[in-house]
Each structure stands twice: as C-alpha cells, then as structure tokens.
Structure 1
Amino acid sequence: MTDQPMEDRVLVEVTVPAPADQVWAALRDRDQLMQWFGWDTDSLGAEVDWIFFDHAVPDDAAKVLNFGGMPDRYEVVADGDRSIVRVVRSAPVSEDDWNAVYEDMTEGWISFTQQLAFLLARHVGQPRRTIYLSGEPLGDHALNGLAGVGLDDVPAQGEPWAGILGPDALSGAVWHLGRHQGGLTVNEWGDGLLIAHNRGPNAKWTRGWTSVTLTTYGLDDTAFSALETRWTDWWTAHFKSRPPEGMEDGGCG
C-alpha cells in the first residue's frame, strides 16, 4: 500500500458538546475509555490496553491518536466550546474496494465513536453497565439491524420513537443511523443507548449476523439482572447465539 497514492477517508465524524481537552482525555484515560469503548466483558481491559496504549501513538499537541498496525486514527478538533471527533483512514486512491475489505472494522469505529459521543453529551462521569448479544437471525430483517430487534419503521435521526424492542416496551429518540447500524436512546435504561448492527449473509452466517449493545445507567442490581435475563431469553428465541468473544465482532479486536 505504501507504493500507491493515499487519500484520507472519514469513517465517522461527530460533534460533541465538550472542549477538546476533555475529549482528548476520554481517549487517553483508561478509566474513561472503559466507560465508552466496546462493552462489558472480561477482556475489555486487555482490549483497551492493546488498542489505545500498546499499539497507539498519541500526538498530544495535535490531539491525534494513530493506531499501530492499522491505517486509522482519531482526530479531535476544537470548535469553540464543542469538539469535532472523527476517525480517519488513510487508503490507497486506486483501490476502489478498500473500504469493503475493512467493513467490519469501519462499523466498529462508527458504533464506538457514537458511544463516546453519547457519554460526552449526556453521561460524563457516570458508570455504565452493558449487555452484548450477537448471533445469526432466525428470520430475515433489514440491514440496519434495528428491525432485527423489532423497530421496522425507524424515524429520522433526532426524532422520538416508542414501541416494543426485543422483549420490552421502550421509548427514546433516534441517536444515529447508518447503512448497517442504528442507535436509539432508551429512557427506561436511565437514559441509556441501544446500538444494533447487522452484517449481510456470508459463508459463515447464511442469514446474516446481528449484534446489539445495550448501555444502561443507574439501574440497581435487581433491575439490571432482570433486564439481562429478559433480553438473553428473547435473543435465544430469535437468534442462533454464541457467547461474546471480545471485540472481534465489533471490528476492532
């Protein structure tokens, strides 16, 4: 790739209501990273260390974080009392299918950056608890993933929504929408966030593959345990599930 002309491609860009120094701290402080990157799993700490510290080269002055072994970087740009956060990929100009080769990684960056934006916009300093589920759907559904958990008619970004999602009657607003994923705020989870992602059919997943990350705030142990049981039981009835295996299904492991 180094012998070909390169160009930068923005994979995801968000504007957050936080100054650049605060955003940069969320990318460099391990405790903060554990509250937005990925999802709760025994391997999360190792994933954070590997990606953001062991194999990352920070430029503190420019607020740019380059990732070793991959052509991606985080950039934080000051915009008054707000900040622009983007993931940029340096790709060969002539390689038209380059993005497709890294599709899973791209979708991971999109969802994780949206989780970062959600934390900075609405839950700074608040600990999260998450539930992650993945598997092959037993029925067909749209590629944005939200239909796979029950939301067939998705409103526009920023608009309110309400309905049966998975096993629960829930409500909130549309946080983000993409080609293969969507995010919804959820009032009933302490102003939480659900991100659903769908991968098209392939040799391994003949009906495609779906994942959901449920991010909650402020639920007590009883309420969180009940939520986890309901969603796990519902998922088992609708998907050929498998246990989470770190970050690889999100595209960043």
Structure 2
Amino acid sequence: MTEAPDQTREDHVLVEVTVPAPAHAVWAALRDPQKIKDWFGWDADTLKDEIDFIFVTHAEADEARRTVTFVGVNDRYEVEATGATTSLVRVVRSAPAGDWSDVFDGMIEGWISFTWQLAFAFARHPGQTRRTLFFSGPPRADRLARSLLGLDAAPAPGERWAMPLGPDDGASGEVWFLARHQTGVTVDAWGDGLLVVVDQPPTGKNPRGTTMMTLTTYGLGEAALAELQTRWQGWWDERFETVAPGCD
C-alpha cells in the first residue's frame, strides 16, 4: 500500500515590510478600494475591477486581527502595530513545507512589489495621487531589464544610486528594496517616483526570461508624463516584446 504524500502545511512569509503609519491607517489602505489603487497594480482600464475582485468580492477580512484572506488562494495580508506611528505589514502563504528559495512565482512577486509600493506611498507620498507606466514581456536578446539598466549591481537598500544605462541615463535616487527576482529604486526626477523591475529567469515557455517594470510617478504634468512614456516605450520596444503578464 502506497502512503499518501506528506501534506503538512506551514506559514511562509512572502514579504514583510515596516510601514511608517499607524496600524488603523494601513488597515484602511487594505480595505478601501479608493486607497488600494494608490499602491496596488498600475494604471489600466481593468484596475478598478481587479481591486473589487481581489479585495472585495474574493476577500475575507478579520478587522479585530487585521488580517485579509483571499478566497481561492492560501495567502493573507496581516497588519501588526509596532508603535503609535509604525506598523509591520506581511503577506503569508499557508502551503506545504519546503524550501522556496529558488522558486519564481508570479503571484509572490506581485505581493512583494505591491507591498513595497504600499510602504513607499505611506513613507514618501501619503494622500498623493500616483500615475504609473507598465511594461511586460520577454527580451529580444538574452539580457533582462535589471542587467540592461545596471540594477543588477545596485547597492544596499537606503543607499544612493544612479542609473548608468537606460532612457533616463543619469537619473538618481535611492535603493528602496532588493529581492531575489526584483529591485525597487526611487527616482528623484519622477517627482520622487519609484521604479520596480521584476525579472523572471528563463523557462521552457520563455527561454530568454521575462521582465515586468512599473514606473510610479508623482506630480508630473501631462506633458512630462507623456515624454516619460515616449522615452521608456522607445527603449522598451527596441529590447523587448510586449506581452501581458500570464500570457504567451
């Protein structure tokens, strides 16, 4: 008789970030769709529907414990007060035990990006309106975006950096976060904006890998935002194909 495989589940912390805001304010940012759009996803006609689907109709909230569990997946947001004006925000996945250090999972990478964007919005732009640009697809050659932009050599979080390559050559800011598959850096010239680059390693489906980039801006006028779009779209089109996340 064959024994059933061990399905022991344990909690895996996917991302954990300190946010400079009281727990009740962070909790509101996880529950109010108008606040969620200030950090989740990117500008798109579908963003409102995505937020409603994920955070409203397919979420179960425990206000007393400040946890949001997502229906159909074993992931949850937790908000923990660490002081009068600081909180710890984490995303936890309940899953079989094992070593996930080499795993690339698109949902995990999304939680990492969005949670750091949540912290950035509270730390640097509370209550301000963000505007974003988004790019996604495989490279035309064998170099992904972090390498092409010089971000594979980014210093430690909190340190200053300058973009040695790319359409905004010489742009500078500080390293906001580093993760195995992604890098987030602030960009002074975008109204103290944020560039998040996610590189998926090569797979059978995408033998050269895939990149996703989110450019978050604050306070740029329509002309400046259009110029930013033109610069980065031209750079992207020369080096990458455009394919929506999760599509061939």
TM over 0.5: yes
Of residues 136, 139, 142, the one that matches 1:137 is 139
Aligned length: 241
Matched residue, 1:209: 210
Task: Specify the alignment match of 1:197 in structure 2.
Answer: 198
Where do 5+ consecutive residues of structure 1 fail to align?
none
- Give unmatched runs, 5+ long, in structure 2: none
Q: What is the letter of the counterpart of residue 117 of structure 1?
A: A
Alpha-carbon distance in structure 1 between the residues aligned to 2:104 and 2:71: 16
Asked whether the 8 Å contact 2:148–2:165 carries over to 1, the reply is no
Amino acid at match of 2:143: H
Pairwise CA distance, 1:160: 0.2
How do residues 80-159 of structure 1 correspond to structure 2 at under 5 angstroms? 80=83, 81-93=85-97, 96=98, 103-141=105-143, 145-159=145-159
> Is it true that 1:46 corresponds to 2:49 in the alignment?
yes
Are the aligned partners of 1:151 and 1:165 in contact in 2 as well (CA < 8 Å)? no
CA RMSD across the alignment: 2.0
Structure 1 segments, 4+ long, off by >6 Å, are: 97-102
CA distance in 2, matches of 1:149, 1:133: 14
> Percent sequence identity over matched residues?
55
Give me the TM-score of the superposition, normalised by structure 2: 0.91
Q: Which amino acid aligns with 1:31?
A: Q
Between the aligned partners of 1:26 and 1:148, the Cα distance in structure 2 is 34
Q: Distance in 2 between matches of 1:163 and 1:121?
A: 23
TM-score by length of structure 1 reads 0.89
> For 2:195 and 2:70, how far apart are their aligned partners in 1?
27
| 1:56 Cα deviation from its structure 2 partner | 0.2
Cα distance in 2 for partners of 1:201, 1:35 equals 32
Q: Is the 8 A contact 2:10 2:95 kept in 1?
A: yes
* AA partner of residue 221 (structure 2): D
